[in-house]
Amino acid sequence: MRPAILGGSATRFRLFPRPPYANPGRPPEIVTISVPPDLIGPGPSDDRLYVIDPVRKNHPYGIVPGPYGTPHLSFPPWRGPTYPPARAGADGHFDRIPIEAPEFAPAHVYGSIRFVLDVWERYFGRPIEWHFARDFDRLEVVMLPAFNNAHVGYGFMEVGANRNADGTVAPFAVNFDVIAHELGHLIIYGTLGVPSRETERGEYFGFQESAADATAMVAGLHFETLVEHLLEDTRGNLYTYNELDRFAELSATEQIRLASNSVTLSQFAAGWDDEHALSQPLTGALFDILVDIFQENLVERGLIARDVADLTEQVKKRPEYAATIQTVFDAAYPGQREGFRAALIEARDYLGVALAETWKRLSPDFFDYEEVATLLLAVDGALSGGRYREEMTESFVWREIGRVKVGPRLSPPDKSSHAFSARTLVPEMRQGLPQMSYRERVLLARGI
Ligand SMILES: [Zn+2]
């Protein structure tokens, strides 16, 4: 197996492209991240982020009750005790930590974050700054297995676990997708920022979720083994249900979202109440565009015929074509693995650069999906003279982006909404909270 090398040789980690509980038996892949061994300390840690495994951190960051119950804002850094950090081997690399060792999870989280940053900084052509740089130099990444979620906020990422209905626990620390998704939120905060209460529109929150999923999808395609499995399983027919499609897998059969959904914007014309649902039409459009670019590349390489590509683009409207299309791919793929792989990598990188350029141009104020579509088309024009204009336009039209206006938020955000959670709190918001007694402040400062 060839390791994925990004930015030359640097430090090796072992990452699971897909969580082991969803894909038992698949070993982690050795990847190389761009930070050299001598710049990575225990944790792991470096000049932009550090991972900690705290002892008895009872609450995630955000608004938490004090020792006497008074709500207060809790931000990094964690000042309490921590479990021993993950350390590199004698050769400076992190790829020999046994999977069963407690240090594997923090190393996996750090390696995943750095892997995703390498991918996206390359697409952006510049470093991605933290939106909290005014107050914190580095991202604090907290291992918090008791937390039933994973989230990011002002200066932190906290990584918990999912309690499945069958009683099993799916730790997010070994779920690359979930970590990449959370980092995607930080990339968008660092690039666009947040709207004010006056300028915010619902689609901004749907876009956050969609961009976070796109961050994870494009980053995941940098695993050699994932690309290999994906092509082998589908024979290059990515319009079938496949592993690229499933986000945040919780088990072999359960995942949080599907990229190849068929949700259109009119479902939200009367209003919306969950930004994850609202993200689906945009994510679906981006997924379809990725597959369309891939198929165009296959046609250009002479690997499939033009009429097959045209037929697959119709399959959403005409599902009865699906079996015929699969037969064609089953015949086209054998012996052409390398050509299919190269076509997919090229599509991945085209979409990656196009998204980074689009995100750079977006404003968080008065946000709507139509602006994303308009800018992506303009970027495609600038990058290649509009090579994929037709496919992109068709995808957006089919999702009703630019045609249908999203209605108002129907219910106040609940706990699952990230939009008003710890993610958007900033230290100044302390003023709005009740005063604590001196005694409670002392107990809090002692970490009691
Ligand atoms: Zn999210």
Three-state DSSP at 179 gives helix
Backbone dihedral region for residue 88 (phi beyond 0: left; psi -120 to 50: alpha; all else: beta): beta
What is the bridge-based pairing of β-strands 71-74 and 49-52?
Answer: unpaired
Measured between alpha carbons, how far is 360 from 374 in angstroms, rounded to an integer? Answer: 14
Of 370, 433, 364, nearest in space to 197 by CA: 364
Examine the pLDDT at 7 and tell me if it is beyond 80.
Answer: no
Backbone dihedral region for residue 400 (phi beyond 0: left; psi -120 to 50: alpha; all else: beta): left
Tell me the pLDDT band of 6, cut-offs 50, 70 and 90: very low
Question: For position 262, what pLDDT does the model report?
Answer: 84
* Averaged pLDDT for residues 199-204: 91
Three-state DSSP at 405 gives coil
Distance 216 CA to ligand 1 centre (A): 11
Distance 2 CA to ligand 1 centre (A): 31
Distance 212 CA to ligand 1 centre (A): 6
* Averaged pLDDT for residues 163-187: 93
Distance 211 CA to ligand 1 centre (A): 9
Which token pair is 88? Answer: 């590199």
Question: For position 387, what pLDDT does the model report?
Answer: 96
Q: How many helices (H) and strands (E) does the chain have?
A: 11, 13
Distance 91 CA to ligand 1 centre (A): 36
Question: For position 1, what pLDDT does the model report?
Answer: 40
Question: For position 423, what pLDDT does the model report?
Answer: 67
Which tens digit of pLDDT belongs to each residue from 96-138? 999 999 999 999 999 999 999 999 999 999 999 999 999 999 9
* Averaged pLDDT for residues 270-298: 93
Q: What is the dihedral of CA 355, 358, 364, 369, to 10 degrees?
A: -80
Examine the pLDDT at 10 and tell me if it is beyond 70.
Answer: yes
What is the bridge-based pairing of β-strands 161-163 and 169-171?
Answer: antiparallel
Q: In percent, how much of the chain has pLDDT > 70?
A: 90
Distance 156 CA to ligand 1 centre (A): 14
Measured between alpha carbons, how far is 426 from 444 in angstroms, rounded to an integer? Answer: 20
Examine the pLDDT at 320 and tell me if it is beyond 90.
Answer: no
Examine the pLDDT at 16 and tell me if it is beyond 70.
Answer: yes
Distance 418 CA to ligand 1 centre (A): 7
* Averaged pLDDT for residues 409-420: 64
Highest mean pLDDT among 157-166, 251-260, 380-389: 380-389
Question: For position 417, what pLDDT does the model report?
Answer: 54
Examine the pLDDT at 339 and tell me if it is beyond 70.
Answer: yes
Distance 141 CA to ligand 1 centre (A): 16
Sheet strands (E) in 175-251: 246-249
CA-to-CA dists, residue 333 to 122, 233, 309, 337, angstroms: 30, 11, 14, 6
Q: Is 107 exposed, middle or buried (0-12, 13-18, 19+ CB in 10 A)?
A: buried
Q: Poorest-confidence range of 30-39, 378-387, 425-434?
A: 425-434
Q: What is the dihedral of CA 248, 252, 253, 258, to 10 degrees?
A: 30
* Averaged pLDDT for residues 153-164: 93
Distance 185 CA to ligand 1 centre (A): 7
Distance 347 CA to ligand 1 centre (A): 24
- pTM here is 0.91
Of 240, 278, 274, 280, nearest in space to 261 by CA: 280
Which residues have a Cβ under 8 Å from the Cβ of 84 and sit 6 or more positions away?
53, 102, 103
Measured between alpha carbons, how far is 193 from 360 in angstroms, rounded to an integer? Answer: 11
Long-range contacts of 390-396 (CB under 8 A, 24+ apart): 391/289, 391/292, 391/293, 391/296, 391/313, 392/289, 392/292, 394/313, 395/285, 395/288, 395/289, 395/292, 396/285
Distance 210 CA to ligand 1 centre (A): 8
Check if the beta carbon of residue 103 is closer than 8 Å to that of residue 97: yes
Distance 402 CA to ligand 1 centre (A): 24
Tell me the pLDDT band of 209, cut-offs 50, 70 and 90: very high
Distance of alpha carbon 404 from the chain centroid: 27
* Averaged pLDDT for residues 406-417: 74
Measured between alpha carbons, how far is 19 from 175 in angstroms, rounded to an integer? Answer: 5
Examine the pLDDT at 191 and tell me if it is beyond 90.
Answer: yes
Distance 275 CA to ligand 1 centre (A): 9
Which tens digit of pLDDT belongs to each residue from 80-99? 999 999 999 999 999 999 99
Three-state DSSP at 66 gives coil
Distance 181 CA to ligand 1 centre (A): 6
Which tens digit of pLDDT belongs to each residue from 212-266? 999 999 999 999 999 999 999 999 998 876 667 776 666 655 666 777 778 999 9
Distance 277 CA to ligand 1 centre (A): 11
Question: For position 254, what pLDDT does the model report?
Answer: 63
What DSSP line would sit under 101-142, residue for residue?
STTHHHHHHHHHHHHHHHHHHHHHTSPPPPTTTTT-SSEEEE
Question: For position 411, what pLDDT does the model report?
Answer: 81
- Give the count of beta carbons closer than 10 Å to the beta carbon of residue 327: 12
What is the gyration radius of the CA atoms in the chain, in angstroms?
A: 22
What DSSP line would sit under 143-176, residue for residue?
E-TTSSSEEEETTEEEE-EEE-TTS-EEEGGG-H
* Averaged pLDDT for residues 277-288: 93
Distance 328 CA to ligand 1 centre (A): 37
Distance 229 CA to ligand 1 centre (A): 26
Distance 182 CA to ligand 1 centre (A): 6
